[in-house]
Structures are given as C-alpha cells and as structure tokens.
Amino acid sequence: MAYYYTEPSHTFSEYLLVPGYSSAECIPANVSLKTPLVRFKKGETPALTMNIPLVSAVMQSVSDDRMAVALAKEGGISFIFGSQTIESQAAMVRRVKAFKAGFVPSDSNLRPDMTLADVLALRDKTGHSTMAVTDDGTAHGHLLGMVTSKDYRVSRLDPATPVTEFMTDLEHLIVAKEGISLSAANDLIWEHKINALPIVTEDNRLIAFVFRKDYESHKSQPNELLDDQKRYIVGAGINTRDYETRIPALVEAGVDVLCIDSSEGFTEWQRRTLQYVRKTYGDKVKIGAGNVVDRDGFRFLADAGADFIKIGIGGGAICITREAKGIGRGQATAVIEVAKARDEYYEETGIYVPICSDGGIVQDYHVTLALAMGADFCMLGRYFARFDESPTNKVMVNGSYMKEYWGEGSARARNWQRYDMGGAAKLSFEEGVDSYVPYAGSLADNVALTLNKVKSTMCNCGALTIPELQQKARLTLVSAVSIVEGGAHDVVLKNKPADK
C-alpha cells in the first residue's frame, strides 16, 4: 500500500511571520544578508559566501553573462544556463571573468550598411540608445563611428537612411586606448562632457564603453561579489549527460561553482555526476545538486558530496511538472523538512550543507519566509526575467511592456537533459510553458527594494543575520479568510498595485 502523508503540503502564501522583540540596534542598516553557498566543516569558513541570499535560475530566459555581471555587482550569483553548446556556455563564463568593472562590452552594434530602421529596431530590442558602428557589426570590429539618440530625429529622417549619413564618425569621437584606467577614462568623460567613451585597441578595434551614468553606480556597490583576483564570481548549470566534457571546459573558463540542473535530483545519475567531480577534482570544484523535496532526497545528495542542495519540484511560475506528472510538494513544506534534515546532518557529521529554495517565490516577502524556514538562499527565475539584464526581448503586449519568459521544459527551450531519466535523448513531453512577465526595469533597483523589505521584516523578528532569523522566527499558518484579510479589502482601489 502507498505511503500517505497525514498533513497537506503548504506554500509560502499560507504562512506569516509573527513579530518578535526588536532592540534599538535592530534597524535595516545593521542587517547582514551574508550566507554560505557551499558546504563547510564546523569551525571552518565556507569557500564561497554570498553577500545577498539570491541566485538566478539556470534558464535560457534568465541567466547569461550580462545577468551574471549585474547580479554579482549586487552580491549574488547567476548560474549561466547549460542548455546550449559547451563552447558558448564556456564563452559566457569567460566574458564574466574577463569583465572589468566600468568597462562595458558593447551589446548594441551596427554595420555601416544598416539603416535608421535597423537602429530603431535595435534600440527597441536592447533598450540602449548608444550604438557602435563597426566594420563587421560585432562588438570587437574596427570602430567606424557611433550612433546615439542625438544623431537622428525620426520625424525628419527616412527609415531607409544609411547610418553612415547620420552617425558621428570616428575622427569626431573622443576615444581612449586599451589599457587606460577607469579613473582616467572617467576623467576624459567629464573633461569632454560626453556620455560614452569608446575604448579601442591600437588598430581601432572596439573593446568596450565607459559610460558617464555608471560612474556613481560603480562607487555604490559595496556588496559586489569578487574572487581573490577581483573578478566577478559566476556559476554555471550542467546536466547528467555530457558532464565529462562540459565540466572541464567550464573549469578551464574559470567558473566558480557548478549546479546540476534537473527537475528531480534523487537519482543515480546525479550521484554519478557528483562522483565524477570528486574523483577528478576533489574538493577544488564546487557543485550543487537537486532538486529534492524531502529528508531522504537531501541525505542522498549530501552523502554523494553535493556542495549545496536545491529544494523544489513543480513550484516555478512556468513549471507544469505537477500538472504533467503529478509529482512535487508544496514549497514551504519541502523547505521546512529539508532544513530539519540539513540540521540533523550537521549535528551528526559536523558538515553544514547549504540549502537553496528554488521556485514558489511570488511575493518579495516569500524570500524572507524561505530564509526563516531554513533556506540559506533562494533561486529565482521569473523574478530576474523581468529585468533589463535578462537575455530576452522586451515587447509591447496590450499596451504594457513585457519580457519573454519560458521554461527549460518547454518546447522552445527543448532542454530534455533537465528532465533526463536515462531514456531517449529527446523531450518526450512538455514540463514548462512559454510566457510573458511584466517588465520591471533594472536589476539593481528592484533587488535593492526586495532586500530592503527582507531586512525590514528581519528587524520585525528581532534578527540581524539570517542564522539569527532562523533561530528567532515564529511562523503561523493562516486560514483562507486570513489570506483575504491580509490584502486590501472592502475598499475601492484607485490604482491596482504593480505586479511584483
């Protein structure tokens, strides 16, 4: 006879935190959100620690090199999606590790044979008005000129006008040569009253831009996550099929941490992948595994050598695994049980294995709930997909800007490896959807707002650190009527709150 759980599984929205005593020192400015990323022994310091408890999901529509840089600046880590060729994923890792703060690779580039119509299309796609004109239209071609919004007026130019007729030619540009310091580059920007400074090689190949608007932001990033060589820290997703060739390429590219990207982690395939890493690299290569939803799954992966373990099956906004296969568990219940297993494991072995809540985060306060329930950090997909830095297109839908967002189990991604059960190399049926999410602007602004809410709630609970929150938190289940009571009710709203 099948085993039946006596209690239903619960989601985050079914819980509230009960406030505790807050001392005078308990203010958001004093809260630390530092959290371990990988396993460590009692009394030791983790090899990798994050400054904020957020990582971006291993998804085509979320985590590329641009997202990785943006999130590392805020103190978190992106796991660059693995459903691409080994070469292209390794190239993304290299770009993150080679990124020099303040020197921005050009992602809006034109060929000289392009037209105003192409300029407008590229502006709509990237949201950027500064575009380099290079001989081959690439980010590292020979620089011929530059186009900004000051160079054209749509109402007075034919869309078929070539860019060469209205761009600012190279000889009229202020440029700097490769090797210039960021400080000197900023001095040039201020001296010549320009907004963008191209950085070029001796033979005028474009390397990067330095922007006036970035000056202040670079001075206000106290949480940026750097390795011992002052490079941004970056993660990458792998699968359980081609790991013997993918992992060496990613390690050679400089990846800091890996994560097995799978919808279900309680499998022999994940154990084999972890064993390969330990046999080949020992403890030098850090690798997370998952996903699991109970104590047994956690113990299995912890014993197999996972550096962190992800929790969650079917709770993602674009995931339909529960609908398609009937497996999964409410995210809150899963986190609570796995956190207890993590603590038991630490008591028995003296080894702390961090856990990551992956999926089910709809509201900002769900992050705080996940941390209070025992998660060390959260992995988010939909949340990060809404931002400028995600790799998807920004489109207008019914009068509102949206960003495309699709699941790794959708027909669009065709990431069959994520759902691999050792059978045929194909996507047998869909476990994800193709969708839109409301465009929300820049990552930095939104992450700052979210974390301010987390810090404020932690202070309400009398906690200044995540471990202290987990010790002091008091959680209560709420009834369906209480959930209704918790929102605006019995009034006529003037404006509908923005979707968060």
Provide the annotated active-site residues: 319, 418
Q: How far is CA 362 from CA 216, 368, 369, in A?
A: 31, 12, 11
78 near 71, Cβ under 8 Å?
yes
DSSP H helices, 228-377, are: 243-253, 268-281, 295-304, 321-325, 331-349, 364-372
3-class secondary structure, 203: coil
End-to-end alpha-carbon separation of the chain, Å? 43
Give Cα 66 distance to the centre of its chain. Answer: 10
Cα(309)–Cα(292) distance, integer angstroms: 8
**Residue owning tokens 């009034």:** 491
- The 10 Å Cβ neighbour count of residue 229 is 7
Q: How far is CA 254 from CA 71, 83, 381, 430, in A?
A: 17, 19, 24, 33
Picking from 88, 66, 152, 141, the residue whose alpha carbon sits closest to that of residue 110 is 141
Picking from 85, 464, 407, 370, the residue whose alpha carbon sits closest to that of residue 263 is 407
3-class secondary structure, 232: strand
* Radius of gyration for the alpha carbons in the chain, expressed in angstroms and rounded: 24
Q: What are the tokens at 485?
A: 């009571």
Q: What are the tokens at 117?
A: 């119509």
Task: Output the CA torsion sign for 178, 180, 183, 184.
Answer: negative
**Residue owning tokens 């037209």:** 115
Cis? peptide before 51, omega within 30° of 0: no
Name 100's bridge partners.
103
Q: What are the tokens at 97?
A: 């590790």
Q: What are the tokens at 259?
A: 């994560």
